[in-house]
Every structure is written in C-alpha cells, then in structure tokens.
Amino acid sequence: MPIASQQNQRSTSPKHHTWRTVALVLGLVLGAGSTVVAQQNLPIMGEPADNALSPLEEKQLGAHFMRQIRAQMPLVRDVLVDEYITNLGNRLALASGKSAEQEFTFFVINDHQINAFAIPGGYVGVNVGLIDAMRHEEQLAGVVAHEVAHVTQRHHARAFAIGNQYSIRTAAAIFAALVIGQASTEAGQAALAAGMAATQQSAVNFTRTNEMEADRIGIEILANAQYSPSAMAESFDILRRKNSLNTSAGALQYLRTHPLDNNRIAEAKDRASAQPSKALAPQTDFQLFKARLAVLSTSDKGQLLRTFNAQHTNKKNAENTYGIALLHIEANRLDKAAEYLEKLGEITKDHPTGELTKATVLEKKGDLDGALNILESLHEFYPERYSVVEKLVELLARKRMLSEAMQITTRYLRRIQNPNPLAWRQLASLQQRLGQQASSHESLARYFAGLNEGQRALSQLKLALQNVVPGSDDELRLQASIKALRGIPPGEEDAANEGQPGTR
C-alpha cells in the first residue's frame, strides 16, 4: 500500500504571455461556457456546438488531454480509490440518462487544493482537497453531479462555438506544449488543477450561465440517483465557508471557474426543496474511502496517526479506525493493524474493504493460506470488483498457481462491460510467465488501448504478430486489430507516440 506523497508546487518560470494564452484556452475548455438549456429533456446536440466541436472531436480532444494528465499530474493510483470514485461517478452518469451516449472516466488527483473539473470527452477529476472538505457522500456526489452535467450538456463544445477563434488543434497544442516542454511539470499541474478562468469578462459570464444550468441538471441527477437533492446546496455552503477561511491570495481554485454567489446558492436550495426529500445514505464506503485517501496523500504519517487516534478516542467510526489500521500496516506494526481491523469489523460488519486489508496483513505475516481463504470468499460474493480480483490473482501468482490466476482474470474481463484496464496488464504478466508470448503482447495492447495510448497498443500488436504462425487465425485476428487501431484519427495516435509513460 504505497504512499503517494507528491505535492504540487506553483511555478513562477513561465512567461506572462504564455500564461495569458493558456488561461484563455483552458478557461474555455475547462471552465465551460455557453447558452442555456432550460430542461434536461430538451435536445442538447445543438448545431452551433456541433459545428464548433463534434462529439467525435470532443472525445479525441479529451483523450489527448487525459494522456497528458496521466503523464504529468499526480493522480492517486490506487485500485480501491479508483473503484470508489468510478462507482460513484457511474451511478450519477447513469442517473443523467446520457450514459449510453457518453462514456465517463473519473479520477482523483493528489492535490490538497479544493478543486474539481470536467474536460471534453467525459473525463472528471476531483482533488483530494475537495473530497476531504466534504462531510457526507451526498455532498461529494453533488459536486460530481455538477461536473457530469457540464459533460452531458456539452458545455465544452458550446464554449468552442463562442470562442471559435481557437481551433481544437490549437487548444490541444498549447496544452501539450505547456505540460510537456515550455513550462515545468509543476506549472502544468498548476494550470490544469486550477482550471484557470478566462481573462475576458464575456467568457466569465458564459461560465456563470453554464454553472446555473449545471446546478439545475445536477440536482435532477442527484434525485434520480437516490441522493438527497439538497446535497448540492450543502456542498456550496461548505465551499463558501472554506473560501472565507482561505488565507491565500484569491478565491479557492474551484471557485475561480465555478463562480458562487448568493443567487446561485438560493436557487439550488429552492430547486432541492421542490424535489422529494431522501434520508442520508449509508456512509461506510465514503468513510473508508476518505481514510484510505488521507493515508495515501499525507506527507506526515505521524501527525495523521495522532489525528486519527484523537478522533478514535472521542468517537469510534469506520474512518478513523480504518485509518489507524492502514498507518500501522505502513509502519509494519501488523499485530496492531490486525487489532484495529477487528474493531473495524465490529463497526462495518465484515465490509469487503476491511476484509481485503485483513488479507493484506495475513500475507505480510506469511500466512498465505489464511489470506487466500479470505480472498476466495470475497471473490465468491464480489466477482465484479477488480480490487478483489487483483489481490486474489496476485496471491495465486505468488503461490505459483498461474493457471488458476489466469482463469479468474479472464473470467473478470469477459463478464465486466468496462473492466479496469489494469486487468489486461495483469493478464499479460501471467501469460508471459506461462510462455504465451503472443497472447501477452495482445493483452498489453488491450491495456494501452484502454488508456487511449494508440501507438503503444499498435506496437504491442505488431510484437504479437511476430509470435504467431503465419496464415493462422491468430494472425488474421491480429491484423484485423491493427487495421482497426490504425483507423484512430490522426492526432490521437501521434500524441500517444511522444514517449508517454502509459502506466497508472
């Protein structure tokens, strides 16, 4: 359970003119601004937006941006964290009624600034700082629902329709140049994480218009997802309080591209009151998520342990109990970790996250059979959870049960509509150990394709071709896959050919 302690620092090196240009482009792309659509069930594929940025172009631009994000920004790379934010986001996307038309990708950034944003193509990022500020899952859902609404209403395309003096290619080129070469990594992180506001007043006004629309649609999404519709206004109250306490210059990063005034808050409250009220959802998953995220993102584990211990003394809940257990694991105090995991089991009634962590402790102690028993039992009840599949396959591979491990991975990939791409990389490793070279390269191609790394996927398919019998069905299948991959429009493959890491 590695600790991701990288922190963002603001760079002062880029030239002022470069920042102004990037601010305008990113303000349009990330801030999202355009005309109003009054109700969610009205058509949103308006001609001006399509003329400026078609759905296909929007997807290509977002995939390009996401490659840069993976390469340059401090993402939280943890399967359980990814699983939680993806499940939450997908629940909201489904409730929007647009998930069949628009794919979504949700991710967490290891940055303690309060911020969240959506970029073209359905990519939604949330900072650690914003998650930490929220007290309940509904409040986090309110922020994510707002970003989902930006995507479903195609605010990025509408922004391009208004600010069409900047072409898609120009925006992508400026973005790539910033994060790759013309500024430091920290500067690139700061630009995207801040979602810098447009410098023209008209662009700010468009942003405010879109914010009101995203609020209205987001509240409907919350209600459809069986969350309390008042959560949107609650999250606004939290952000306003945090902003009033902010001692750094200017507003919170989130508020720079999401202007928050009294009228907006009042309207959110009024709209929520018109929806049927709902009881607060169970918070166990959210508490465990927050605890794990705190441990993964802290730069001072000792202070965090003292904080969790103080909270545990006053009130024993899932968050502080699990956090203490994780920190004891980090310090290799396995008996103490096991003690707190037993307490967690009493609170959460054998929650799968706690059981997974128990298996980790047993494995670290050398009790592989005990860990395997827990994981096999979890897999029986949660075969669709990659967090369970990953740990079970890792342990089976460690015990040299490679065929069994490969069967479990293959079954997961076949039964899940949108599997975690990491499963393909895990399968490739197993196939390589079993001497199945062509299959291993083909699985790696699927992994890279899942990350929109077209050139890397193509390279793996070519390597797979070198390891199959000429004229065989395998050769024909691989050639068909190569042709399909080469059908990716120019720019997507070219961007992936710039030596990007391609790992998560």
DSSP bridge pairs for 105: 123
DSSP bridge pairs for 108: 126
Q: Can you give the pLDDT at residue 444?
A: 97
Residue with tokens 């990594």: 185
If we measure between CA atoms, which residue out of 256, 303, 289, 253 comes closest to residue 8?
253
Is residue 394 situated within a structural domain? no
How far is it, in rounded angstroms, from Cα 285 to Cα 318?
Answer: 9
Is residue 40 situated within a structural domain? yes
Judge whether 236 and 135 are in contact, CB under 8 Å.
no
User: What is the number of domains present in the chain?
Assistant: 2
How far is it, in rounded angstroms, from Cα 119 to Cα 285?
Answer: 27
Q: Low-confidence residues of the chain, pLDDT below 70?
A: 1-53, 157-207, 246-261, 277, 279, 488-504
Judge whether 162 and 210 are in contact, CB under 8 Å.
no
Is residue 337 situated within a structural domain? no
If we measure between CA atoms, which residue out of 339, 349, 297 comes closest to residue 318?
349
> In sequence order, which ranges of 153-180 are alpha helices (DSSP H)?
155-162, 168-177
* CA 133 centroid distance within chain: 17
Judge whether 420 and 451 are in contact, CB under 8 Å.
no
Is residue 61 situated within a structural domain? yes
Residue with tokens 């929650």: 351
- Please identify, among 219, 244, 273, the residue that sits at the C-terminal boundary of a domain: 273
- Please identify, among 246, 273, 300, the residue that sits at the C-terminal boundary of a domain: 273
Is residue 355 situated within a structural domain? no
How far is it, in rounded angstroms, from Cα 8 to Cα 346?
Answer: 38
Q: Can you give the pLDDT at residue 461?
A: 96
Is residue 416 situated within a structural domain? no
Counting DSSP H helices and E strands in the chain, the numbers are 26, 3
Q: Can you give the pLDDT at residue 102?
A: 80
Residue with tokens 């860990």: 371
CA distances 245 to 101, 193, 238, 242, 248, Å, are 41, 20, 11, 5, 9
Is residue 97 situated within a structural domain? yes
Sign, Cα dihedral of 438, 441, 446, 449: negative
Judge whether 291 and 319 are in contact, CB under 8 Å.
yes
Tokens of 352: 């799968």
Q: Can you give the pLDDT at residue 255?
A: 63
Judge whether 267 and 236 are in contact, CB under 8 Å.
no
> How many Å from the N-terminal Cα to the C-terminal Cα in the chain?
14
Is residue 26 situated within a structural domain? yes
Q: How many other CB atoms are there within 10 angstroms of residue 492's CB atom? A: 19
Judge whether 299 and 334 are in contact, CB under 8 Å.
no
Type and span of the H or E element at 97? none
- Please identify, among 273, 300, 315, the residue that sits at the C-terminal boundary of a domain: 273
CA distances 268 to 100, 140, 226, Å, are 27, 15, 17
Judge whether 402 and 432 are in contact, CB under 8 Å.
no
Tokens of 343: 């307490």
Name the residue range of residue 476's domain. 431-504
The 3-state DSSP class for residue 276 equals: coil
- Burial (Cβ within 10 Å: 0-12, 13-18, ≥19) of residue 338: middle
- Burial (Cβ within 10 Å: 0-12, 13-18, ≥19) of residue 322: buried
For residue range 15-28, list pLDDT tens digits in order: 333 333 333 344 33
If we measure between CA atoms, which residue out of 78, 41, 69 comes closest to residue 390?
78
Output Rg (C-alpha) for the chain, integer angstroms. Answer: 23
How far is it, in rounded angstroms, from Cα 70 to Cα 66?
Answer: 6
